[in-house]
Structure 1
């Protein structure tokens, strides 16, 4: 389907095109934003707020140190392995200023996962939080890493609070493991050197980030996201921000918003939404370091008149299940964005009832930088859909032979647009399997495009269950089960069955102690066609998830 198909389907205020010549690099976006919004807050965490002028000064000092104290050259890879702390955006923008390629790394990775990513990407430098120093020590000899920069929780705090926080984390809470990395340079020392960065010429075709796929369906691969890819996605999302409200105001005003950022910045969803899009629009990100501590998260929310929140289904449920959540002031909240995994209707309706703000669901992939589709804000949003393609983006669905299907038909979703990756790092075969010569990306997701232009994701192609020749899509089963009031979360997979070939197996995390298995089975029978009803139901205390809350069905299948 040509991108022009959606031009008359966008809400008021949203342009159907973007100017890809507006910026030459992410660095140019960053510098312009820092100068325009110099005195506006950029990032807050642990009681410290950096305005855009301070963020720019720190990033330039970080870049200057890299240029003058290492042998790193433009194009070399630097891994950044930290949770949501202020050092993260400083390191990212500093690395890009120095012309380096950022390799976002999950701080909860095992040594095996770190080893694979660092070796695959050819990482030469690593910025890490000292809470994970023991794993760094274990993996170091198996990699090409030559330069270590060690961050500590109190780095950006003034003395003596900085020293006290680091002491508390290490000695009282005992969060810092034993390790020996004498060659590591302190992050605080790097900033205090205040070295001047030398401008590096980078263009839109240069790779800015190696963003590794989540690994939910196999071995993680490094998607090469260029400066042009990231600029395009920033401009596309900003076009959506220009949607007009009932009073003619923009939904997202430059330099005026307070966006809560609980999802990890090293994940492509929050990386683009918070580090890139909010930065480009001069808005304020409140970083939540440990969103799993729901009590602490809510305590932080009480400090802010927040206007936006980025999340996903499991996080929304966890917040709403906490007794203190309903006591928060939601009067300023006008935007709640969901992505990363399917949003259930039950969660969306409950959130709107509690907060007065409708969740807007979008869709994307690591390989699309990541946003490809998004719902309009407000009442035009369609629950159960991921909205319409962003400006300049085309989508289509194809059958198993690669033939494009008509509107309303179910097939594999393909995406074409300026935000689509260059390819996979050092993996031409995987690139060729995913990207065709016309730039169409095969997503592996099954979708339906409606006549009104809205896209509905049915399921992952590889997760489809075939029962007696009938296709069963786990998302549909899970959507129904999540409508049960005593279900907190669930996952459906296919298991071998001698009679039907495959059968549906359901894993359920109950909400409280009131879930009756027999009653749940009858609930499923009342809401699902016979072959879709779970053959087995297993109660669990938790489900395996990625760092951003995406349930790993693959791990459940591997359990047998």
Structure 2
């Protein structure tokens, strides 16, 4: 195996030697410099080795954001292990299946991880370490080795050694274990300079650490020697106060967070002049919303498009391309992104097709599911494997990618393909529409037909009037069957709308269209 990557653990050790006092992690009133972080990572790694764990083993983590969470994650890597960050909001049964599927030697738990999870694991040999006195397990402070107890140097991993096992959100079915290698991660943080990360960066992290979205900001920051400012839980007001107090320069946010922050009437009163870059990913952000961010929030805006599984990704430097805000940018350097049709062949220029891609930043495989791994691959004319995203898109004349929606979300009405994002873009142009999701519902006449769920700007609006306004601006086959006003849209932890729930809700309440 090749070791042609720079390993994150080695970069942290290098920062510890060159700038030990430079802050690596800030959370609440706690300040951890790179020198202290390196020692703590060594102690966590030594504890894992003392317990008999090593290369090829895994450490699972189910806890809220904390410094210990990151120390455990990095300690596992330094000991040649992989980390398994678990979604704390998942049901106990789901968490139990993920843990048994991944087979960790250790489990770090903390609030809000449910205590019932531990009771269900009594028949396992997993060593449980706890960050909370209210949860069973060995206390972190007692478990972690004393300073200087690491003994022999830790073995250097290979580039293709497993880095982490991340479970998908499960919005399209049962969660799947996505395996990333050190090569994959290096492919992300090696782009740090391109994305504006450096040792002066203060990155505000407000999304959960189990999410790949979060990790794509955490690791480049640490790789560059910057500072991570951690929020245990997102709150728009606190986010703005922390940004002002710590002179934050960077933040990774999902669209729903941007909306909540910009919706605050006091937003313009906060001093955000130190911001150099914001990043957005994980869900659709309308062109009008990107424009508002650029107009009202200092610094640039970069939109990431890609999946946890990796493959081909794109970047939109929104501040450099104000006329392309309806797109998700162009392929990242070194990423090959193509579009294929139902016949498995590349589509003609300008046509809509499924996004496939390949790069060094591609998952290794789905853990324990060779069938799903194979189903996710598309083989190009040259025999090279690409990853299928399930997203539908087209390239514009300048090579910018325009997302049309998820393949599974496409509405086929009377044999005509309707892309929900087209309808959502029109509806967001109405002054009374704050947010919207368009879904397919069964139709006895058309097979499927579009229904819109709308969050209104103010109460008392006429749903039929908004629908008619939109239909006047849509093509004949795109017209919306019904528009439902709602107070909120169901979302997962990263703000992705759970469209299947909306469709099921409509059918339950109204039957087929």
TM-score, structure 2 as length reference: 0.91
- Compare 186-195 and 106-115 and name the one that shifted more: 186-195
How many residue pairs align between the two structures?
498
Residue 543 (structure 1) aligned with residue 498 (structure 2): no
- Compare 225-234 and 192-201 and name the one that shifted more: 192-201
CA contact (8 A) 2:3 2:159 kept: no
Cα distance between partner residues in 2 of 1:516 and 1:34: 60
Q: Give the match for residue 378 of structure 1.
A: 319
Cα distance between partner residues in 2 of 1:413 and 1:29: 34
Deviation at 1:128, TM superposition (A): 1.4
CA contact (8 A) 1:24 1:203 kept: no
Distance of aligned partners of 1:504 and 1:129 in 2 relative to their CA distance in 1, 3 Å threshold:
same
CA contact (8 A) 2:428 2:434 kept: yes
Deviation at 1:371, TM superposition (A): 7.5
Cα distance between partner residues in 2 of 1:352 and 1:83: 31
Q: Give the match for residue 53 of structure 2.
A: 72
- Give the CA RMSD over aligned residues: 2.2
Deviation at 1:225, TM superposition (A): 0.4
Cα distance between partner residues in 1 of 2:173 and 2:197: 40
Match of 1:516 among 462, 480, 495: 462
Residue 44 (structure 1) aligned with residue 44 (structure 2): no
Cα distance between partner residues in 1 of 2:483 and 2:172: 23
Match of 1:433 among 363, 366, 375: 375
Match of 1:257 among 192, 197, 201: 201
Q: How does 1:216-365 map to 2 (within 5 A)?
A: 216-235=171-190, 237-241=191-195, 252=196, 254-274=198-218, 276-291=219-234, 293-365=235-307
Bigger relative CO (Cα 8 Å, ≥ 6 apart):
1
CA contact (8 A) 2:244 2:271 kept: yes
Cα distance between partner residues in 1 of 2:474 and 2:64: 41
Q: Give the match for residue 126 of structure 1.
A: 107
Cα distance between partner residues in 2 of 1:135 and 1:388: 46
* Structure 2 residue ranges without an equivalent (≥5): 508-513
Q: Give the match for residue 55 of structure 1.
A: 37
Q: How does 1:21-170 map to 2 (within 5 A)?
A: 23=5, 25-68=7-50, 70-141=51-122, 144=124, 146-152=126-132
Q: How does 1:367-516 map to 2 (within 5 A)?
A: 367-368=309-310, 372-376=313-317, 378-380=319-321, 382-436=324-378, 438-513=384-459, 515-516=461-462
Cα distance between partner residues in 1 of 2:141 and 2:434: 42
CA contact (8 A) 1:77 1:122 kept: yes
Cα distance between partner residues in 2 of 1:220 and 1:111: 14
- Compare 514-523 and 80-89 and name the one that shifted more: 514-523
Distance of aligned partners of 1:372 and 1:145 in 2 relative to their CA distance in 1, 3 Å threshold:
farther
Cα distance between partner residues in 1 of 2:125 and 2:431: 50
Q: Give the match for residue 248 of structure 1.
A: none
Which stretches of structure 1, 4 residues or longer, exceed 4 Å deviation after superposition? none
Deviation at 1:60, TM superposition (A): 0.9
Deviation at 1:398, TM superposition (A): 0.7
CA contact (8 A) 1:239 1:391 kept: no
Cα distance between partner residues in 2 of 1:79 and 1:27: 18
CA contact (8 A) 2:3 2:158 kept: no
CA contact (8 A) 1:465 1:502 kept: yes
